Every structure is written in structure tokens, then in C-alpha cells.
A and B are shown apart, each in its own frame.
Chain A
């Protein structure tokens, strides 16, 4: 559809009209801009609430958490809770941070590399049994993990992977159904013209993948990287099941120490939670910078 609109003479004739209407709408535009800004700010306040509560509780003393409303700002905010969490000899934050970072980096690299390649196969190559195989891929997401948990554990125990990082990293290199599906959708939205030109130049699938598809789907790849990073960082059941040694624990497991039965320490829990979440906020902040208009793909500009 768009191709027809971009014919040159048509374009030139319309520019003058567009300018006129633009002037006419300038005032409305100003108002709508203010409306959007208001909407953005209101929304931001609403969406900030959980983090605000976490922060407020993290800055209060234990007594204050128990006696004041969770919305009120602490009388004298203090970073003591953060200090206590970071220096707690029983729940070694530094060690858990090291373990979590290792697990997260390895599995994120694995997921992004494998899923992006696999998705290309499903999105851009016609091959025997593709559509049905893709349904099998979707099918692997449809069975609740609760019932495969024990068989999977037994399997990993049989090959001696329990109490190692292997069950939490190796499978990442074989793709994740969710991310393969996501990337396939994005790849399929990329026009074929460039591929065809590249094929004429003698390029194979691997070159098309690395030179055309990957650069055109940066936002999608960044999304996958962010999601898998956050997923691995916050994973709880995996590390809980597969890691036994105290020195192999992760941050998310460490958080539970502050939630143990009948000994809830909300002030420390929230301080630790803020510390655990901050790297993710930073990652997201950096990641979303790549959410800018990608390369214009049809070359029509």
C-alpha cells in the first residue's frame, strides 16, 4: 500500500497542502502535547507505586515499618538497611551477586544466540515440515512446568548435573520457544526485497541472517536479551531446585532468607529487593535506547 503513496509527483503536490493543514492544527497539536504529557506523568506516578513502596520500606527501621503506613516517607531515611544487607555475613550478597551474574550472562548469551538463529530457520527458509514443526515448538509451551519438574530433576540428577550451574545454563543454548516465536514474528515482518538482492549477489542464508536480518531487528533482539536477562536474574525455582551448596546460591534465593517463616524482616527484604532490581532497571534503561526507528528497510526514503 505504501509504495503507491510514495510516487514522486503526488508527493510534491501534497506537501504544500500538508503545510497548510499543519499550521491549522498547530494549536490543537500544542493542546494534545500537553494532554500526552499529563497522561505520561499520571501514568508514571501510578506505575511507580510498587517501587516507591519498596524504597520507602527499605529506608525505614524495622520498628517504623511495623508502626507506620507503607505510603509515608520515613521520618529520617537511612541507608542502614542497605548497609546491613551488603555486610550480612550469613547471606553473602557479593558472592550471590557473582553467582547470579555468571548464570545470567551465560544463559542470556545462550538464549540470544540460539533463538535468533533458530528463528531465522522458521521465518525465512521454506523447508520440509516447517509449519508442523513450528506447532510442536508452540506445543512445548503449553504443558505446565509443574508436572515436568520432577522428571526433569531426575534426568539432571542421573547425568550428575545437580548442584552445578549446568542445568541453569546449558539448555539456554538450545533456544527458548517463547523467544524463537517472538523473533520469528519480527523476522517475518522484514520485507524480502533486500534478501533477494543479496541472493542475486550470491549471498547464502548465513550472510542474509548476519547482514540483513540481525541489523534490521535490533529492537526485537534487544527485547529478547533484556527479557532473558531479567528472567535468569529473577529465576527462583531453577536455582532453588538445582543448587544445594550455600556458596552456589543466587540473589533471588538470598532474598528468601529475609522472608523465612515467622521471621519476616520487611525492611531488609525490601532493601535487598531494591539492590537486586537496580541492575535490571539500568539494563532496561540502556536497552530501551535501542528502541529508536530502525533502518528503513524498503529503501523508499
Chain B
């Protein structure tokens, strides 16, 4: 045993030495992507081919499936960024404009490389002012209409065909089109809206829709297509916007028409009717044959094949194919697109090798590997028109579907990318907050869009004010840090200096510090530094990528005076905390008492009651969604009954003012019910508090109760006079940490509502998070964090002051 360990050590040493020798010419590149499992298989295969082609370069492939940007930013800030990373048009500007990405044009003279072989339509959104920062690996035009052949045939509608121009390009005018004013029956199958109408079916008895004509995978997709196709734009310059143009009548009309297709015409399920059971709504409804057509990108194909292919019969559940999205009646066709690529981080020590890898992965080898899995449409024009991307005669079985894949290539000239400005996430985050009301039919585009334009333009104006700020002085920063630590030290120990101590007290002191010493050491080593740094950053303008700039107290004054969302989030968080903490505590106490009874099988009950705290948050959010759904949700079922005419406890009358289109409540989608819904959810998680109180209940000596029973004290008096005082330290703990935690709660709002509708659930930390990692305003976020710190501190001090009710058996 022992000798084998020595042997292993020796071998390790030897191999390390060998490696060191080899490393003389070996270069390692870190390559990070956010792809899922299947794509990783393809990427790994391509990376291995790269390694055998360039034996001196080793590729370290890493995958980050969630919080990708946060990790990349942290790595960049710490100067340990990867060499090559995945990136997309919505995010690259944040890095590129701050100098974190290498301009790729410098490598374009590499022999055998030609940027013009790539679709210009996806190279452009990855460029800023003509300089390419991301080499695209795929393009995903969102003009793919999946259609159910069987339902078309049942309705007697001819299947869509491709009508091309003489030169083989798409002819938008000759294929189906649409118009803003409902169906045009005279055009029959050449009118997209008429086709939608024909494919919509209602149950004659109940009047409920049993089959819808069409559904976009997300409502913004249809708005984009309508707006772009009639010449509308959201901002004047997509790379560097100055003016918000959302108020353009054509854009307003596009929004309204999208809503009308649900509420006025009923050809399309509304977001209320969808209120997602699972995230992949459109595809799911399509496989269930509840919608006859849905529009999305080509990425739905692997999922559809899996859902519909029956390997026993070797057939699809129903025949389906894809068609090009319809053009506006004048023949203008525009739809959004997805796409992504690889960029080189400017911290790389091996730019040349990083380029070789980028060119390989976002070139023929990488793209072919991805296309083989049917995962991503190649960004190189020629590759997108041939095998393996386009099926030919040799393709069999499920892989043959969809046959009309050539439209992914034919559609490329019609794609339009949305704004790529680094400010867009910030501006759109403010701008779209009230749009939920358009999508649930409680308001219309004419009313809501002017509000969004005013908000968006105001935000854009603020962002454009290019302030000249001085550098952040790290020397004075360090000085401030030292002063702060010293102040803290003085505050803690100041009152102690004057006291004279006996030698016994001195000894006690020394022993006490042996006990608490580890914590003080940990505080100094791990906690204090980052905390002080964040306090310093709260006076700075810091985007994580570039060095911080001095901003004085402007972050604080911005929060208090100019940012409307700040006050809204304080209000929301306060209500949330003040209601949910006491309720949650009461629930935890009730559960703890219930689970403390002596009944057979109590260990099982305890475990079952704790399960929600262990189960996956995703599963929990799925359940809560079905509870809160407007259409057939459990809560509405309880209130309105199965026939929709019930009035449980008079709640239906009470809720009448907040009811939506279908006469029932869209709990998470309504401004006045969304926050109460989240509070209800939070009480569900009382399991943790329950365990603590249950543990505390074990410390109450049994004989107290026996004695009290003997004295004839009622159970209530026993509870008041024995149980409560004895577990009061634990209750106090739950209350205090409950407040601290609740002020900082985040995940429920993040998973369920993203702060909406109209900021009704914009919890403080959600705003802070968006500012920090979406808008890259870490300085401002730090200021927000320290404001919250002070609020929590005041609340905590108040609770400590009021803590006379806590009874410590062991004395203070």
C-alpha cells in the first residue's frame, strides 16, 4: 500500500517533468461555451480534430450552462479570462466597446480565410462600426413556420409551397402575405391570416377554442416581424441609438395587431391562455395538435423529432413540415434572427493560436459537426445549402424531417437583427415593463407605448450623457479602507479601554478570543476585504471590465432622486418582507408544534413536510404556475368552480376589479395580485424555520409541562407560559434572520415574474442584480447594496432593542 503510494508519487513527478519539457512548445487554450449536451458532443469532436491538426495546441473545453456572463465577467476582472469564448450579438458590445475583445479584422488575411463566405446578415450584428468582434458560427432565422399537414388537409387548405424567383431566391410577393385588417378571404391560402382563421376551431357548445390557427414561440417574435416588415424601427441606430422610435404608428399598430389576433380575432392563444405550464409552449401545443402552425427558429427540430417520431412504426405522429413566414401585403418580408459565435478575449497570451481555434470552430469543421447533429445552421453560406444541413436522398427516417429545410437558407436575406447596443438591456428593461397589459388584454398599445417611449428615451438620455470622470484613486481608497477598519475597531473596543480588569477577567478575555478567534481571522481574511471594496466601489463608476472611475456620491443621489425603480423596489420589498416574514414564522411555528406531537410515524411526516425545501426550485415554480394560471389554474378553480360561475367565500366578487379577459384572475400577470402570489409562495418554504423551531422545542424540559398539567394549566396557558418563552431565542433568531433574508430575497421573483408586471414584483435585489450584471453598473449596484445594508441594519437594531421578550434560560 505504502510503496504503491511512493511509486505513484514518483510517477507523478516524472510525468510532471515530462510535461514541463513538452510544455516548452505546448500551448493550452481555454475555450468556453454555454451549449447543452448534444452541442457539446459536436464541439468536443471538432476540438479534438483541431488538436490533431495542431499538435502543439491543447484545447481545454469548458461549459457554463447558466450565469455565463457573470462568470466571464468575474474571470475577466480577475485577469483569468479564457482565450476563446462563445458570444452573441446581444452581449458582445458590452465587452467589445470596453476593450475586452480582440478586433478580428487583423486576422482576416490568414490564407484560406474569407469573411465574405459568411452570411453578411449575421456578421453585421457581431460587428461594431465595421469591425468584427465575434466570428459567427451559426445563424437562426426566426421565420420558420412549422405546420401540421393533417390539419391543413382536414380544413381543405392547400399546403404552402415555395415560390421562387427566376434566380432561385425567395419571392415574398408570390407566397402568402398578411395585412393589418384581419383575413382577406378573396386571397384564400395566399393570405396568412385567412389560413389562421380556417385552422381555428371552436367547440360549438361551450364556445371555447379547441384548436388555434397559429402561435409565435414568443409574442415579441410576431411584433418584431410585423414592425420590421412595415418599415418600423425601435431605435434610430441599432449599434448606437440616440432616439427611441417605438412610438412610430406602424410599430404601435404592429403591437396592437399582435394582441388583436388573440383578443379580437381569437386565432392565436393569448399569453393569459398560455401562462406556461412548461417553457416550450408553442412546440408543445403543436405536438398536441392544439395549434396548427407555430413560428420559431430551426432549433425546435430536434425536439419535434423526438416528440413526434414513433420508432415502432417508423413514422411521425402526424406529417409536418416547415414554411417561410409570410410577407407584408406589399411583399416586404423581415423577421428577427438568432445567432452566435466565438470571440477572443483581449487578455489572451496566444492571440494567434486563439484565432486558429476560433477560425476552426466557427469555420467549416465546427459548423459541419454542429450541422450533423441538426443543431445549428452554418453561418457560412455554402455550408448552409448542402449536406449535412440540407437533407438529400440519402437522408432517412426522422432525420428527413423537415424536408423544406432550404428555407432556412432562403430566409437569410430577410432577417433583421434587433438593437445590439450595450445600453439596450438597460433601456429595454425600463421600456417594456408595462407591456404585460397589452399581452393580457387589459390595455392597448396606443395607451401603453407612449409611456414606454417616455421611459425608454429618458433612460437613453441618461446613459448617453457621457460624463468625464476622474480615475479612482486606489491609494486614497486603501486609505479609506484602513480608516474604516480602524473606526470599526474603535467602535467595538473604544468603551473597553478605560475599564480596569481583574486578572481573572483578563484570562477570560484571552480564552474568549481563542473561541471566537477563528471567526475574526476569517472575517479579516475572507469577508472584510470584499465588503470594504464594495463600499469603495459604491462611490465609483465601475463596469467590471474597465478600471473604476470616481463618481463621488452620485450613485446614491441617482438612486434617491432620479431612479423611479429604486423607490418602487423599496416599496415592493418592504411589503413583501413585512407580510411574508411574520406569516412564514407563524406557519413554521404551527408546523413545528404539529410535528412535535407523539404520533406513530412522525419521522415520516417530518420528512414529508420538509420536502418542499429540498425539491428543485424549477419543479416548485412549475407547480406554482399551474396554481396561479388564469385559465384553469387551481386557485381560480377553487374560487370560480369548474363552470367559472362559482364565488368561493365571495372572493369572485372581491376580485372582480382585477379579473382579466376571461373573467378570472391572472394571478402572476396582474399588478395587484402578483406580489401577494409571491408571498403565498414564500410561506411554502417554511420548512427551514420549522426545523429550527422543532429543534428548539426539544430543549423544553418535559417536567415543566407535567408540573403545569398538575396545576391544571390549560394547554393554551402552557403554550404561552412555557413553550413560547423557552423557544423564544429560536423565534428571535428566525425573526431576525427572516428579515435579513427576506430583504435580500430574489429567486422566486426571478423564476416566476422577472419583476413584472410593470415592476409589481421588482424586489430590491432583482433590480440590484440587473444593474450589476445586465447593465454592468457594478458601482451603482454597490451603492444600492450599501443602502440596503443600512436599512437592514436599522431594522435589526430596532429588533435587538425590542428583544426584551426573548427569554434566555442561561442568562445574558
Contact = CB atoms under 8 A, between A and B. Distances in A.
B698 interface: yes
Given A21-B712, A175-B522, A260-B65, A124 B810 contact: yes
B515 A117 contact: yes
A210 interface: no
Contact of A187 (B284, B512, B704, B810): B810
Interface of B: 30, 34-41, 60-67, 70-71, 73-75, 77-80, 277-280, 283-284, 287-288, 299, 302-303, 306-307, 488, 491-493, 495-496, 499, 501, 505, 508-509, 511-516, 518-523, 525-527, 529-531, 533-534, 537, 544, 591, 594-595, 597, 599, 603, 605-612, 614-616, 618-620, 622-623, 626, 687-688, 691-692, 694-696, 698-699, 701-704, 707-712, 721-722, 726, 729-730, 732-733, 736-737, 740, 744, 765, 768-769, 772-773, 778, 781-782, 785-786, 788-789, 792-793, 796-797, 800, 808-812
B611 A178 contact: no
A277 B616 contact: yes
A280 B607 CA distance: 10
Given A188-B808, A260-B34, 8 more contacts: A2-B701, A18-B710, A48-B608, A133-B520, A136-B492, A263-B37, A264-B280, A291-B606
A232 B484 CA distance: 32
B789 A142 contact: yes
Q: Name, among B512, B626, B781, B810, the residue most crowded by chain A CB atoms within 10 Å (CB to CB).
A: B810
B614 A6 contact: no
Interface string A237-275: 100110011100000010111111111101001100100
Contacts of B61: 246
B594 A50 contact: no
Q: Summarize B's interface: helix, strand, loop or mixed.
A: helix
Given A132-B492, A150-B73, A125 B515 contact: yes
Interface string A3-20: 001100001001101100
Contact of B516 (A118, A126, A188): A118
A130 interface: yes
B622 to A, nearest CB: 6
The dominant DSSP class at the A interface is: helix
A285 B607 contact: yes
A185 interface: yes
A27 interface: no
B786 A264 contact: no
A121 interface: yes
Closest A-B pairs by Cβ, 7 of them: A174-B522, A260-B36, A121-B515, A127-B512, A157-B78, A121-B516, A219-B695
A180 interface: yes
B36 A133 contact: no
Nearest to A149: B74
B619 A273 contact: yes
Contacts of A141: 737, 740
A279 to B, nearest CB: 10
A54 B287 contact: no
Given A44-B609, A53-B619, A259-B65, A154 B78 contact: yes
B707 A182 contact: no
A2 B703 contact: yes
B614 A66 contact: no
19 contacts: A17-B712, A18-B709, A49-B612, A49-B623, A54-B619, A121-B515, A128-B493, A130-B512, A140-B527, A141-B740, A144-B785, A162-B78, A174-B523, A174-B526, A181-B733, A223-B691, A244-B60, A260-B34, A298-B701
A204 B511 contact: yes
A144 to B, nearest CB: 5
Contact of A90 (B41, B786, B788, B809): B41
Contacts of B712: 14, 17-18, 21
Interface residues of A, number: 140
A208 B66 CA distance: 48
Contact of A256 (B65, B704, B708): B65
A65 B287 CA distance: 12
Contacts of A133: 492, 516, 520
A76 interface: no
A28 to B, nearest CB: 11
Given A51-B615, A261-B34, A155 B688 contact: no
A26 interface: no
Interface in A12-42: 14-15, 17-18, 21, 33, 36-37, 39-40
A39 B531 contact: no
Most chain A CB within 10 A, of B278, B611, B687, is at B611
A47 to B, nearest CB: 5
A57 B614 CA distance: 17
A44 B605 contact: yes
Nearest to B536: A151
Contact of B703 (A6, A40, A118, A261): A6
Contact of A157 (B65, B79, B620, B789): B79
A223 B62 contact: no
A18 B707 CA distance: 10
Interface string A283-299: 01100110111101110
